[in-house]
Structure 1
Amino acid sequence: MRVGRILEGTLSALAAPWAVPASSAQPSVMRVIDAASAREVILVGTMHYNPHSIATVETAIRDAAASGGLHAAVIELCDARWSSDVARKWNRERSLRRVLSEDEFQVAFEAALDCGLGDVVLADQPVAESGRRLAVAVARTVADALSPAGWRRIGDDGRLALSQLPAFGAAALDRRILAGTPLAVARYAYSSPAALPLAGLSAAALALAAAVDEATGAVAGVSDGAVTALAAVVLGRAGFIALIDERNQVLAGNIREACLQPPQHLRGGGEAEDAAGAGAAVVAVLGMAHLEGVRAALLVEQ
């Protein structure tokens, strides 16, 4: 028990300086008016488990509720990765579990409840569908690499990815995000231990390849570089299509649906919504890689 208290105190001390957002504008927060509903959407881009991201999410939700009103809180999860019943059982008191496992989605849920909502809206596609789409994107990229027209499509996707990079970079390079990254990585490893063997295997494979090259005196040739570059193009483009771009459209569509729908889970029913008025905002909590793509999608009325 004493070791647990020491660990809790140490991790809390590491997180504390970065837990409260500055009053200045946050590069990870974007405001956009949804073209279909004319409702304000506040996009909060996060690094998962990062203490500064968590504090920014809570602040955005509470500030929205205190100003024009909170129409809905949307999170980048699906049914397979979220259970409101489980989330309701979390103890809000500071504890070792919260220090090790607290993330922005749990805090968004709790803040939404405090501000009058009965639940959050799940905006992501099923995780199994994302895996299937990734396989499709890999196959499509391999096929595109065999023709000039295909390379033009690959180039178009590359330019689209580059256009979204500045917004991601501004959010990711915020000094408060960087300061909280070690704790975020530790929390991710603790909460998702299944990822550790894969990371370890990848590191071991790289170390083994380097050792073999050192022992044999092998020097990478032009053909080796071409194969490596092609593999990077295939995996990079497929990852962008399936895990970023296509999901941007899904996320934006579900955020828009939340804007258009009445606040079904709002405590007090229609009277509470009338009090908030048409100015009530939707706060959407997303990974920061989705910020620019979702913002652009919401600006287009379809």
Structure 2
Amino acid sequence: MAIELEKYQDILDELGEHASEVLRASWGEAARVFSPRGLEAYLHGATGLKSLGRGTDLVLSFIQSAPAVTRELGEDAVSDLLAAAIKMYSKTSATVISLVFSSSPIAASRLGDPELFRGYLHLIDTLLAQAPRGVRPMLDHLGTLLGQLTLGGLRRWALWGAQAHKTDFNAQIRYFGLESPESLGVLQKERRGTLFIDVQRRIGMYLRALWGRDFFMRPTSGDFEQREGYRPYIEGYIIHLPDAYDDLDLPSGKIDGVELYRAACAHAAAHQMYTKEPLSAEALTPLQMTVIGTIEDARVEQLAINSFPGLAPL
């Protein structure tokens, strides 16, 4: 591993002694998660940041954080991260960009999807224009925020604060630092019942116990301006599920978000197990597609219940 890194001695020399030491410490994980092409992009990304002349911290935070982002979302997410950072270069300080890098593993882990991660980076860029003093305290509290909010909830919370305090820099710092009552009030309003990222592993084990195989699942975010998520759907053998489910209070009792995820996942998995050919919408009217889809839903659910009677209550 060390011998492989020595192939890039010119890059090590360009980075300087301190950054090279950090790179050596991070190389083991980087070599495990990056492809050979991704490793070269990783190294050239570090030297590109070095050439900006904005200090060493910027380079160090990228070197240390990029492997973790790749482990969660794939190496293309690091390219998105670098592109976003370069776009932010003229809008903010090196300290804030370093925080974007160092907090990116938290965002990658909590969001769990490359598209949502790109949406998160776009949100930061938007806030740099609308509430520049709020970005740093928000990044300092990112773990707390994404532990309670979906990307849509984070966006609504952040844009509310940006709009309310667009001319008051001190108020921006208090709001985005979770130090003001209104910040905590909007945060509470935007909290969701159950986040997909918190139950993904449990749901995956549940499906594996039923069908003896793994199913690929990804979160998807609803309309950022609304609280409603997208309906679950299957695309390319991947089950896409809302990034959060609220608990339902029904006359018959309360259904929590975990049960909703179990039902949605079991239904989607039944389609993957029992549908041999996907339905084609060609030459069918919307009404015909609705009727056929309803019948197909009932068919795969009945087949699943025949195999696993315990699924019937779901």
Structure of greater Rg: 2
Q: Which has the higher contact order (CA 8 A, sep 6+)?
A: 1
Q: Tell whether the structures are fold-level matches, with TM greater than 0.5.
A: no
TM-score by length of 1: 0.24
